[in-house]
Amino acid sequence: MAIVIIDGQEIEVGDDERLNGIQAAKRAGVDIPHYCWHPGLSVVASCRMCLVESGTRDPASGKITMVPKLVPACQTPARANTVFVTNSEKVQQARAMVEEDLLIRHPVDCPICDKAGECYLQDYHFEHGQKERRADIKPFTSRRRSLGPTITLFVDRCVMCTRCVRFTREATGTNELMVIHRGAHEEIDIFPGYPLENKLSGNVADLCPVGALGDKDFLYEQRVWFMKKHAGVCSRCSTGCSIYTEENQDRIYRIKPRENPHVNKWWICDEGRYGWKHVHAAERNTEPQRLEGDDYVNADWSTTPALLDKQLRDADNLAVVLSPFLTVEEAYLLAKYARRVNKHATIALGFVPVVGEDETYPNGFTIRAEKCPNRRGVEEVASRMNGGLVAWDDFLARAEAGEFDAVWITGAYPEPWHDEATAQRLAEVPLLIVQDLLPSPLWSIATWRLPSAAYAERDGSFVNHADRLQSFQWAIRPPAGVMVEGRLYWRLLGEKGLYNARSAMLEVANEINYFAPAHHEPPPLGIDLKTSQLASTV
Amino acid sequence: MKSQDPAIRWVDEPKLGLAGKMYLPLFLQGLTVTTKHLVSPKVTVSYPDQEPQIDNPLIYRGVHRLNKDAQGRVKCVACFLCATACPAHCIDIVGVESPWPDREKYPESFTIDELRCIFCGMCEEACPVDAIELTSLYNLTGRSREEMVFDKEKLLSVYEATKDAEPMASVRHGLPTPSSEGTGAPQSAAPPQASPVLQGDVHTHSH
């Protein structure tokens, strides 16, 4: 353990932690303002906002020797006996000067800037800027140019921190962005004909500490202070990135990455970032319906569970298909219900969408080919509850052979997932319950059509490809007419009160060994089911 | 503001004498006010036979208007600060990219529910570009709720009806405003409309 002194406060730093001044100060509860430094990128120390006084303490005599000049905290390692002073007048003056310099060429168009409200330049100016301006600054309209299909650049709002440039060099390795011109004329730009076009491009808008890089998808959609942030888990691939869903009045406006060192660090891919459009799709199923004669009639949620229950009990051979888009809790509740109404019910794992191959970027970020969030979790539930795994293809073959007279298929796929031919293989099933998000061939031949919830509307847990279980709560309420799966299964089981994902998870943890670590409330970053198991068997 | 802020002056409660403890000075003060009003000229008017005199229409808080810039375009930049400040949530804006080269964003639609409005004037306070202002038009009636939801065109027409009698704050103070500057060719957002456009719903009064 090494001792580092921040503003007279001694903190302990591990020997192999290799923290810089900003990180060490954060540990002491001191925020050092910074633009260019980001924990996921290399250090350039170019913005000069994190200038602090630094020195060393002689461990023997306790005498402190300070460096005469200010040093950038981001570039100064917090070694043993390093002293940082972050609140002296000299430091405050330096910060005010940096702020003043940045504002000389800034358009000050905060009222129309999408970053306003979460802008470092605004925040730091209130905290560290000068009360009065010495320069005669008039607001003006920033020049603007497109950098690629997702990002637009407001040239004059930029503070030249070069985070975005370093991101394309170090994180994606695609090198689209660069700095052109020199000195006060420096600008971010692309080489003509080579736009910013990679699957992580949306991250540069998050990285930008000011309003220079705008997300075209979110541009002028909503002021940031109107939105509420909900911690969630991305459902678009089996990486299971930690995200924030930002919504206003049950409408999602954007998805932002949530820092999680075990999964996605600070990033998310564009597939996940813009992969919420299906939630508000106009063609979404929002009405439960049942086949009467040749026509579909709208079903009523107050009577549907009882009717379903009766029909399922009458069936001799029941099969339920658990979609990898269900949460662990929902999959378990449905499997438990199926086993209750029919002791020999078959529990199968639903279709697992795989598109292309895993793509790994130089910074280790991987976009998985498996485009579903919870194959691992549902697979464990299905194979445990069934006593052996029945995959989608096996199930289809058995259903086609006429083995089942009642089938419940859960979907919730954000994209079309089967073709007409697949649906026809199930056409002979007398009782076909289809629960899906979007209309599909199966939906059109179902006996019961139950609309399913989108990922942002669920409560529960996903298990990602690396056996990390992450729990989350709903971010938005489903459209009228949609009953979230968990709630429906809860009612079918006759459980008391409202659907409670946590108590369902406790039951899963008791029942299935794989989920045993989830006995304890999982932390926001999730728990690794595999390492916990290894630790418990040793 | 933090409680340790040097700008805060902390004062102690004054020590009261015997007269003060018996409320005598305050009692006399109150009586003086009452007597003054007894003998001073009446301020109430018998509306609607008689129209009230508004002392300073520039600070009166009546119907809203949306101001236009020098080129006749709506001045609003769709920053949502008025909607944010509004305690009655009566302002609804749809902001989109502007069609003009010198402006970044403008309101595609801008509606104020005048029935919901409490005429507090916070929107005017919040506006960074002097685009929304309250006029001295106070006689506001309608035959349906929908009629009382004023859209952008109607709010702009209130500006046309009142701009001469009540010039914009920026014009009064001779201030340049960001939205009225720029190099773009004169383009008209909304053609100037003949006033009065409020069709008898709002009656202008004579000052």
Inter-chain CB proximity B104 and A109 less than 8 Å: yes
Q: Give the closest-approach CA distance of B185 to chain A in angstroms.
A: 15
From first to last of the 538 residues of chain A, give the pLDDT tens digit: 899 999 999 999 998 889 999 999 999 999 999 999 999 999 999 999 999 999 999 999 989 999 999 999 999 999 999 999 999 999 999 999 999 999 988 999 999 999 999 999 999 999 999 888 888 777 888 999 999 999 999 999 999 999 999 999 999 999 999 999 998 899 999 999 999 999 999 999 999 999 999 999 999 999 999 999 999 999 999 999 999 999 999 999 999 999 999 999 999 999 999 999 999 999 999 999 999 999 999 999 999 999 999 999 999 999 999 999 999 999 999 999 999 999 999 999 999 999 999 999 999 999 999 999 999 999 999 999 999 999 999 999 999 999 999 999 999 999 999 999 999 999 999 999 999 999 999 999 999 999 999 999 999 999 999 999 999 999 999 999 999 999 999 999 999 888 999 999 999 999 999 999 999 888 999 999 987 666 555 4
pLDDT of the residue at B1: 59
Q: Which residues of B touch A142 (CB under 8 A)?
A: 104
**Same structural domain for residues A451 and A315?**
yes
Is A371 part of a structural domain of the chain?
Answer: yes
User: Which of A112, A138, A141 has its CB closest to that of B102?
Assistant: A141
Is A11 part of a structural domain of the chain?
Answer: yes
Domain at A495, CATH number: 3.40.50.740
pLDDT at position B205 over 90: no
Task: Give the C-alpha separation, A397 to B105, whole Å.
Answer: 57
- Angle CA B145–B149–B152, to nearest 5: 160
Q: For A489, phi and psi rounded to 5 degrees? A: -65, -35
**What is the 3 state secondary structure string of A256-307?**
EECCECCCCECCCCHHHHCCCHHHHCCCCCCCCEEEECCEEEECCCCCHHHH
**Same structural domain for residues A74 and A55?**
yes
Q: Give the closest-approach CA distance of B94 to chain A in angstroms.
A: 8
**Same structural domain for residues A325 and A262?**
no
Is A239 part of a structural domain of the chain?
Answer: yes
Domain count, chain A: 3
User: Which of B81, B96, B176 has its CB closest to that of A111?
Assistant: B81
pLDDT-derived band at B197 (thresholds 50, 70, 90) equals: very low
pLDDT in tens, A384-443: 999 999 999 999 999 999 999 999 999 999 999 999 999 999 999 999 999 999 999 999
Interface confidence (ipTM) of the complex:
0.82
Inter-chain CB proximity A220 and B80 less than 8 Å: no
Task: Tally the C-alpha atoms within 13 A of residue A459's C-alpha that lie toward its C-beta.
Answer: 18
- Angle CA A168–A171–A177, to nearest 5: 5
Which of A39, A531, A489, A89 is closest to A259 using CA atoms? A39
Domain boundary among A262, A280, A298: A280
Is A177 part of a structural domain of the chain?
Answer: yes
CB of B202 within 8 Å of any CB in chain A?
A: no
**Same structural domain for residues A421 and A489?**
yes
Q: At which residue do the structure tokens 């301006």 appear?
A: A133
CB of B97 within 8 Å of any CB in chain A?
A: yes
Burial class (CB in 10 A: 0-12, 13-18, 19+), A250: middle
Helix (H/G/I), strand (E/B), else coil: A251: strand
Inter-chain CB proximity A111 and B102 less than 8 Å: no
Q: Which helix (H) or strand (E) holds A2?
A: strand A2-6
Q: Which residues of A touch B79 (CB under 8 A)?
A: 111-112, 223
pLDDT of the residue at A137: 75
Contact A214, A255 (CB under 8 A): no
Whether residue B48 is preceded by a cis peptide bond, meaning omega within 30 degrees of 0, is yes
Inter-chain CB proximity A142 and B128 less than 8 Å: no
Q: Which residues of A touch B75 (CB under 8 A)?
A: none
Find the helix packing angle between A328-341 and A501-511, rounded to 10°.
Answer: 70
Buried b (16+ CB within 10 A) or exposed e, A166-176: bbbbebbebeb
**Same structural domain for residues A157 and A305?**
no
Task: Give the C-alpha separation, A420 to A445, whole Å.
Answer: 10
Inter-chain CB proximity A141 and B182 less than 8 Å: yes
pLDDT-derived band at B185 (thresholds 50, 70, 90) equals: very low
Domain at A52, CATH number: 3.10.20.740
Q: Which residues of A touch B77 (CB under 8 A)?
A: 111-112
Contact A121, A151 (CB under 8 A): no
Give which of A112, A145, A215, A251 to mutate to test B binding, by max B Cβ within 10 Å. Answer: A112
Q: At which residue do the structure tokens 């219900």 appear?
A: A337
**Same structural domain for residues A293 and A424?**
yes
For A222, the closest chain B residue by CA position comes to B95
Task: Give the C-alpha separation, A86 to A21, whole Å.
Answer: 10
**Same structural domain for residues A341 and A322?**
yes
User: Which of B79, B84, B102 has its CB closest to that of A112?
Assistant: B79
Is A122 part of a structural domain of the chain?
Answer: no
pLDDT in tens, B69-125: 999 999 999 999 999 999 999 999 999 999 998 889 999 999 999 999 999 999 999
Task: Give the C-alpha separation, B42 to A122, whole Å.
Answer: 51
Q: Which residues of B touch A223 (CB under 8 A)?
A: 79-80, 84
Inter-chain CB proximity B178 and A140 less than 8 Å: yes
Contact A56, A83 (CB under 8 A): yes
- Residues from A contacting B (CB-CB < 8 Å) are 109, 111-112, 138-142, 144, 219-220, 223, 225-226
Average pLDDT, chain B: 84
**Same structural domain for residues A213 and A301?**
no
**Same structural domain for residues A324 and A429?**
yes
Q: Which helix (H) or strand (E) holds A19?
A: none
Alpha carbon distances (Å) from B42 to A367, A536, B29, B168: 78, 89, 21, 32
CB of B96 within 8 Å of any CB in chain A?
A: yes
Q: Give the closest-approach CA distance of A410 to chain B in angstroms.
A: 38
Is A53 part of a structural domain of the chain?
Answer: yes
Alpha carbon distances (Å) from A276 to A64, A251, B126: 55, 10, 34
> Across chain B, where does the E strand assignment appear?
64-66, 91-97, 105-113, 132-134, 149-150
Inter-chain CB proximity A109 and B84 less than 8 Å: no
Is A534 part of a structural domain of the chain?
Answer: no
CB of B109 within 8 Å of any CB in chain A?
A: no
Domain at A146, CATH number: 3.30.70.20
Q: At which residue do the structure tokens 């810039």 appear?
A: B69
Alpha carbon distances (Å) from A58 to A7, A16, A61, A82, A258: 17, 21, 6, 9, 41
- Angle CA A65–A67–A68, to nearest 5: 115
Whether residue B196 is preceded by a cis peptide bond, meaning omega within 30 degrees of 0, is yes
Contact A215, A205 (CB under 8 A): yes
Inter-chain CB proximity B79 and A111 less than 8 Å: yes
Contact A214, A154 (CB under 8 A): yes
**Beta-strand pair A318-322/A346-349:** parallel
Is A19 part of a structural domain of the chain?
Answer: yes
Q: Give the closest-approach CA distance of A277 to chain B in angstroms.
A: 20
Inter-chain CB proximity A111 and B95 less than 8 Å: no
pTM for this entry: 0.85
User: What fold does the segment set B57-172 form as a domain?
Assistant: Alpha-Beta Plaits (3.30.70)
> Across A142-240, where does the E strand assignment appear?
144-146, 151-154, 177-180, 187-190, 213-215, 228-233
Average pLDDT over residues B181-186: 37
A41 lies in which domain range? 2-87
CB of B125 within 8 Å of any CB in chain A?
A: no
Under DSSP, the state recorded for A349 is E
- Angle CA A376–A381–A382, to nearest 5: 95
Task: Give the C-alpha separation, A156 to A128, whole Å.
Answer: 22
Tokens of residue A519, six digits: 């006995």
Inter-chain CB proximity A140 and B104 less than 8 Å: no
Inter-chain CB proximity A219 and B77 less than 8 Å: no
**Same structural domain for residues A379 and A491?**
yes
